[in-house]
Amino acid sequence: MPLTAEHDALAISLIRGLAMDAPLHAKSGHQGTAMSLAPLGHVLYSRIMRHSPADPHWVDRDRFILSNGHASILQYALLHLSGYGLEMDDLKAFRQWGSATPGHPEVHHTAGVEVTTGPLGQGFANAVGMAIAERRLRSHFGSQSVDHHVFVIAGDGCLMEGVSHEAASLAGHLGLGKIVCIYDDNQITIDGRTELTYSDDVPARFASYGWHVEQLGEIADDLDALEAAIRRGMAETDRPSLLVLRSHIGHPSPDFTDDPHAHGNPFTAEHVSATKRVMGIPDEPFWAPADLVAAYRAHCAERGATEVAAWHDRHHTAAVDPALWDATWHATGLAGWQDALPTFEQGTSMATRVAIEKAFNASLDGVPSLVAGAADLTGNTGTKLAGQTAQSAAHPDGRQVYYGVREHGMGAAMVGMALHGGVLPAGGTFFVFLDYMRPAVRLAALSRAKVVFVFTHDSVGVGEDGPTHQPVEQLATLRAVPDLQVIRPADANETVAAWVAAVEHDGPTALVLSRQNITVVTDGSAVHTGAGVVRDADDPQAVIVATGSEVALAVAAAEQLAGEVRVRVVSMPSWDRFERQSDDHRAAVLPPGVPVLSVEAATTFGWARWADRSIGIDRFGASAPGAVALDRLGINVDHVAGTVRAMVGA
C-alpha cells in the first residue's frame, strides 16, 4: 500500500521522537543527527531503496551504510518502522547489555545492518568495497542477477578521517557509479562548529577525485527534492556521487538546533517535551501509533515482495550455474578445488610470499570469489593473479585490484567486499604497514568479515631497509585481536595449508609471510590443528617450538644436538587454532614436564603461554643484509642449540 503525505509527516515525527526518547531512556546516545536526517532516512527506506524486510539477506538488495554510526538510533527507528524485527522493547533497550540496538550498528547482530560502523570513515570506505563487489558480480553473472546500489550517509567526521580520502580517491579512479553518498553537512563536531578545525572545500575535493558532486542546499525537510537528488545520483552510472546536504543538527529542537550539545549529550525530559510540542506530537515516551507502523510495514513489505519476486524471475531466466553461484556467494571453493593446489618437496627453498601466489593462482578456477591485490606491492606480496585483468570501469570483471599506496583504504574496502558477499578479497602489504590499516583489521574481526590479509616481509629478514620496515612487534599485536585467525606458516607447504584454512574459515585471516627463501621442512599438516611435530625424538628431553622461517632453523639446531640431547621440533603456525584443540591434543604436542624453548624472529611477548624460555627480538632491528640481521640478533642455530643445552642441563 502506498504511503500518503500524512503518513510521511507522521513517520518523520515518529523517527525524531524515538531519536530523542531512546537516548533519554538510556541516558546515553546521539540524537541530534538522527533528528535532522529523519526525512532523508524516510525517503531512502520508503521510496528509494530496493530492500525486503522479509528477506534481509536477499542478494540483490540495495545496501545502506550509516558511516556516522553514532546516529544509530536513526537506523534502528527505520528498521522498526520497516518491519525488520526490531520492536519497541528493543528500542527501549537501546545501548543496554544484550540488546539488538547497541550503541553503534553491528552487522550479524541486528537484521538490516550491513556493516559495523562507529569509527568514522570506515563505513564510507566499506561502501567503496561493496561497490567494487557489486560491479564485479554484475559483470560476472549479468545484470539480471546482480544490479543494485550502495547508499551511504557520512558526516563531517567521516570526511575528515584519512581513510575516507583514500577510499574516495580509489572510488573516483575506478569509476564506481553505484555509490550514492549523502554528506550530512551539519557543520558540527563534538568540540564545536567545524570552522574550528575544518575549512576544506569538500565539493571541490570530491570533484577532483572524479566524483559527481551536487550541493543540495537547504532541502533536508523536502522529501520530493531529496528523492529527486538521490535519483540523479543513481543515474550517474560511470562515477560515484556525493550529495552535499546542508542539515541542522537537533532540528526542530527549540533549544539545541545547530548546537554542538545536540551531538552526544542526551536531551533532558524538558528538552524532549519542548521539541515534541514544536512537532505537534503527544508528549509521551516512545510514541508510535499502531496504524502508522502497520501502514509503513505493509508498504515496505509489498515493495520488497514485488522486488524479490521480479528478481527471482530475472535470475531464473539468466540460468546461472547453481554451483558457481553458491560457491561465489559463500566465498568458498567448488567441489574438488583443493586438488589443484601445489605441494612442495622437502628441501625445496622458497619464500612463503612466493608460495601464496602459487596457491592463489592454482585456485582461480576453484575459488571463483577470489579477488586479490595490494597497496602498491602486488608483485612483492604474492598477490599477483596470473592472466587476470585489473579491476576498472573498462574491465568490471577484473579480479586484480590495484589499491595504490592506500593501506587503510584497502583494508576497509576489503571488509566492505566481504560483507557485501560474493567476493573473497585477499590484500597484501608489508607487515610493518599493518599500522596503517589496523582499524580495518580490527573491524574485520569484529564483523566476522571473510577477508584474507596478506602480510609479507615478516621479520628482520627484510634486511637493509632497517628497523622502519622490520615488524618485530606486529605479530604479537595481531594475536591479541579476538576472532582474527593468524597464521605464520613455516614453509611453502604450510602456506598452501594456510590458504585452505583461510577459505574454510568463517571470518578474517592474517597470513604472515616471509621475504626470504625458506627450506621446506613440513608437510603442512600442522596448520590444521595450529601446531604439530615436524621432527621427533624418542622420549624427548626438550621441545623447540617455532613459527615461520624459524622452524627450519629449529630443525637445524635439533640436528646439531643429535646424539647429545633428544629434541622434538614443533611448528606452531597458528596460536588461535592450537588454543582451540583439546587439552589432550595440546599435551601430545607439548608434553607436560618437558622444557620448551620458543624461537621466533619477533618480540617474545606472549610466548610464556607455551614456552619456558624464548629466543626472540625484544628490540628494534637494524639495517643490514637479512641473514646478517637475523644472526646478529640471536636468531641462529648456535644460539638455539646452546640455549637447549642450558635448559636441559638446568
Residues recognised as catalytic: 407
Joined grid coordinates for residue 506: 568463517
Joined grid coordinates for residue 237: 552510472
Which residues make Cβ contacts (< 8 Å) with residue 594, sequence separation at least 6? 540, 541, 542, 543, 568
DSSP one-letter code for 196: G
Instruction: Give CA 80 to chain center in angstroms.
Output: 26
Residue 54 pairs with which residues in a beta bridge? none
Measured over the CA atoms of residue 457, residue 438, residue 133 and residue 107, the dihedral's sign is: positive
Closest CA to 518 of 338, 342, 341, 344: 344
Instruction: Report d(CA 78, CA 153) in Å as an integer.
Output: 14
Instruction: Report d(CA 441, CA 420) in Å as an integer.
Output: 17
How would DSSP label each residue in 556-584?
Answer: HHHHHTTTTS-EEEEE-S-HHHHHTS-HH
Instruction: Report d(CA 404, CA 457) in Å as an integer.
Output: 18
Instruction: Give CA 607 to chain center in angstroms.
Output: 28
Length of the chain: 650
Q: Which class for 255: exposed (0-12), middle (13-18), buried (19 or more C-beta within 10 A)?
A: middle
Largest CA distance in the chain: 90
Instruction: Report d(CA 589, CA 404) in Å as an integer.
Output: 43
Closest CA to 364 of 348, 345, 388: 388
Q: Which class for 222: exposed (0-12), middle (13-18), buried (19 or more C-beta within 10 A)?
A: middle
Report the amino acid identity of residue 130: M
Residue 214 pairs with which residues in a beta bridge? 243
Q: Which class for 410: exposed (0-12), middle (13-18), buried (19 or more C-beta within 10 A)?
A: buried
Which segments within 1-87 are labelled E, that is strand? 63-66
Report the amino acid identity of residue 562: A
360 with 426: CB under 8 angstroms?
A: yes
> At 132, is the secondary structure helix, strand, or coil?
helix
Report the amino acid identity of residue 231: R
